[in-house]
Amino acid sequence: LIKVTVGKVRHTQITAIIMHSGYSEEVAQIVTRISDQLSFTKVWLGQFSPIMAYIAGPGALGIAFCPTHLLQTEHE
């Protein structure tokens, strides 16, 4: 999954949204691996809602990417 993601967005300035259910050492390692290969302009880190965490289970990780220029407004 990491290889596919990196291949699609490697040369793009991106904003990442990382969600988790119980931030663990393994989750931290995955985030580091991705960060080492991509150029994030912003990273937002948050927890899944209690229902999502219950369904996904402990240690679940969700990562969303968006090209940063799509998030910028006229006022930035």
- DSSP string covering 13-31, please? -EEEEEEESS--HHHHHHH
Residue 75: the pLDDT is: 52
Q: pTM of the prediction?
A: 0.69
Domains of the chain: 2-71 (3.30.1180.10)
- Each residue of 26-62: pLDDT tens digit? 778 877 888 888 878 888 888 999 999 999 888 888 8
Query: Given this model, what pLDDT does residue 24 score?
Result: 75
Q: Count other Cβ atoms within 10 Å, centred on residue 67.
A: 13
* Residue 28 CB contacts under 8 Å (≥ 6 apart), including other chains: none
**To the nearest whole number, what is the mean pLDDT of the chain?**
82
State the residue for tokens 């989750």.
Answer: 27
**For residue 2, what pLDDT is reported?**
73
Question: 74 falls in which pLDDT band (50, 70, 90)?
Answer: low
